[in-house]
Structure 1
């Protein structure tokens, strides 16, 4: 879903390819088009559909592999995410709306938000059949368009945002998408098994794709918070997919790129007014921590005549959305003003084994002296002593005599911190003093490091950076 949109945007960097990719995409006229202020709000919908994007039934064998369950005739929108892209691009924010959120649905009634699409689709189809004069294909297309419009309006009414673009992907498309990129890594705090979704996973880090990926994001039974836990799974997984597509060379691999385009053409529905070339310029920088996922505030659950619903206070939801948008706009403005990041450190041109590196920690972050000295050892330097020193604002590498070149290369490896001649050290020794400004992210984590098994706070952002362990 999110990833499919990013695929299309990122591969549409030249008009010829853009035309070829979009030629096979199903479009729908459900929104007004591009926002006038440059910012964009995109509604991303995952549908529990037993048909393809043109309404053709999926083969029974495929449905069994997807653990789709019996066909109830109801087209549920089980994944609902709004992606906010600030004017000028940069960091983006996405927030999930749980499928059981109890809201007013324009043209229908107060119900779970995932009822908007199927209910209005069914009501519209009944009315069109009654009027007569249209083919089955026309009725299907027009009724689905009305269902999508109802979902868009319900989201707008709940959040206070105007939706500028719409993207929808079905079950088969999601499974095929993850296979096309070679799967992504996730992490679970405990083993889990759910025959209804087909989920059967061990604890810890693991790479999943295809039907396993679909089961991962569909499971809600046996999880601590039910559907809210499922929302977190969707966020973690989609963040990982977006990061892999945009930062792991996926778009430069001809075979994978071809597979991604095929998935998009087979399984994606987008609004007819979307200029994907313009969106590509914004989507290109969403790798790493520049895409955050969170969830709207909720007020607990309640069982009523329509079943178990997630209660929300619309005023609190709108306040949350307003803060989120304002924060992302501020970050975008700060990014424009910020100094470009320094280039990554290059290879060492000195013989590191000729130098001893000692480290003193003058920051408030514990354990940094050990991390830094170990990093220097990994680069070939001789591991020196570590310890703490008085609080220091600026990080620096101290050297003496003819050791300036070595000090500069150590400083480069540690985020281009300052270097300074000093009588606090002797020839052949370099003294790294860590200050409050030190960026600990410049120290790579070992590939076999144990994952963080702390469950994120209920509404803490999930970013497209790292592999957080969840339920």
Structure 2
């Protein structure tokens, strides 16, 4: 669900069209000394809450639709990410913090980090009631503020960084956001059927939204590394959501913009001192995919009185965060001072192949042609997409969306210099090949057959996850 939080933060450029937008956003007074200038550290929190941003319980039918399980009276900080955006914009880095990280929670005890918010919120609520506060909304607002403040202090203590801003979103917001943008592309190495989260997916590339998207990022059972695998899913999904909203033309649709604003007003909580429109200008470069996701270092796992926990050393974590930020700043400074690059020829097919998924449709009268072309694309290193027939088509074409023109031309060249056509309906990172009656099968190397696609491969664990491309994961 944290993907929607980040998108809500980063799509502030669209919100400039709505001068009354911020009047409908719930704010919380949890930041002291935050900056609107310079580098920004933003704590992004997804909460497994059965209430909306105003504290109203979600309708029973919505809870059932979300497969959120029974309301046991516990609010969980389901996802925690520290986003660092450098001074002047440029490449940002998002540090995922495992929810089971075993840490010292200021004013409470040593526990899992996802207990910092709900546990101290519950204690504050009990105290307020004992002190004679009877207004339910006042108890909810003040106790939630204390819980959020404790989580912020806990993250600051762990990461060694001051938090400048805070953003939080709930289950309903995540559901509605992924529905509003028409779903998000993901890819799984193996099929999944896991009843606790409701995750039920085939292997390979697919588009998910709503309850299915929620199940995708919430699954933690049946994964090879438990919560760490879950974090990797969230990072890939978050990058895909940000990429789609920020760079695939989504923000040009008035209907989608209105839906995004409604989601934010219903489900988003931000700190009261945050000027989102100013921040959006600073973060504009993230639309180009300049966003990397990493997970803080851990030192193993153990079981204790708090359950199964992930061990972390604050010294290692703070050093890791500081090092990555320093590397980022150095790279940004070098980029600012570098001379303009000389003009370069378009990248070759072997350079760009790993970044793209090729979907093939056969509109010719040659049976099996789409499978043969798809096989050739996989030989060249492209990820296999959908393979199907389409209505009879006279002219072959490769369709793409911005900024995938070079990739489309490289594929077209491999297929006998067929036509290339821009199409906003194509998902970024995908190329749609339509084979027409004019396609010359002789351009395919001898021996090319329509073999089944190999299982998708996962990037090496050290490979960065960014807001570009659709890597296949567990």
Instruction: Give the length in aligned residue pairs.
Output: 384
Aligned to 1:350: none
Return the alpha-carbon distance in structure 1 between the equivalents of residues 239 and 198 of structure 2: 22
Partner of 1:457: 460
Q: CA 1:241–1:140 in 2, change beyond 3 Å: closer, same or farther?
A: same
Please report how far the alpha carbon of residue 277 of structure 1 lies from its aligned counterpart in structure 2 after TM superposition.
1.6
| Shift in Å, 1:319 | 1.2
| Corresponding residue for residue 117 of structure 2 | 117
Q: Deviations over 1:103-145 (max 9, x none)?
A: 0001110000000000000000111111114522111100000
**Which SS does the other structure have where 1:82 is aligned?**
strand
Contact 2:47 2:79 in 1 (8 A): yes
Gaps spanning 5+ residues in structure 1: where? 347-360, 372-412, 416-443
Structure with max Cα Rg: 1
TM-score by length of 1: 0.76
User: What is the alpha-carbon distance in structure 1 between the residues aligned to residue 127 and residue 170 of structure 2?
Assistant: 26
CA distance in 1, matches of 2:123, 2:184: 39
Task: State the Cα distance separating 1:33 from its structure 2 match.
Answer: 5.0
Change (3 A) 1:337 1:105: same
**Cα separation, 2, equivalents of 1:204 and 1:83:** 29
| Counterpart in the other structure of 1:144 | 144
Match of 1:279 in 2: 279
1:95 correspondence with 2:95: yes
Aligned to 1:184: 184
Distance 1:272 1:37, change over 3 A: closer
Q: How does 1:73-92 map to 2 (within 5 A)?
A: 73-92=73-92
2:5–2:46 Cα contact (<8 Å) kept = no
The alignment status of 1:43 with 2:43, answered yes or no, reads: yes
Is the deviation greater in 112-121 or in 457-466? 457-466
Q: CA deviation at 1:454?
A: 2.8
Q: Decide whether the 8 Å contact of 1:7 with 1:245 is kept in 2.
A: no
| Post-superposition offset of 1:82 | 0.6
> How far apart, in 2, do the equivalents of 1:452 and 1:248 lie?
27
Partner deviation per Cα, 1:258-315 (whole Å, 9 max, x = no partner): 1111101100000000011211112221134311111001111111011000001211
User: Which position in structure 1 is the counterpart of 2:249?
Assistant: 249
Q: Confirm or deny: 8 A CA contact 1:287 1:465 kept in the other structure.
A: no
TM-score by length of 2: 0.75
Alignment CA distance shift 1:214-1:13 (3 Å): closer
Q: Which residue of structure 2 aligns with residue 10 of structure 1?
A: 11
Q: Secondary structure at the match of 2:20?
A: helix
**Distance in structure 2 (CA, Å) of the matches to 1:328 and 1:307:** 36
Structure 2 CA distance for partners of 1:304 and 1:459, relative to 1, 3 Å:
farther
Is there any run of 5+ residues in structure 2 with no aligned partner, and where?
355-404, 408-428, 434-451
CA distance in 2, matches of 1:13, 1:132: 44
RMSD between aligned alpha carbons? 2.9
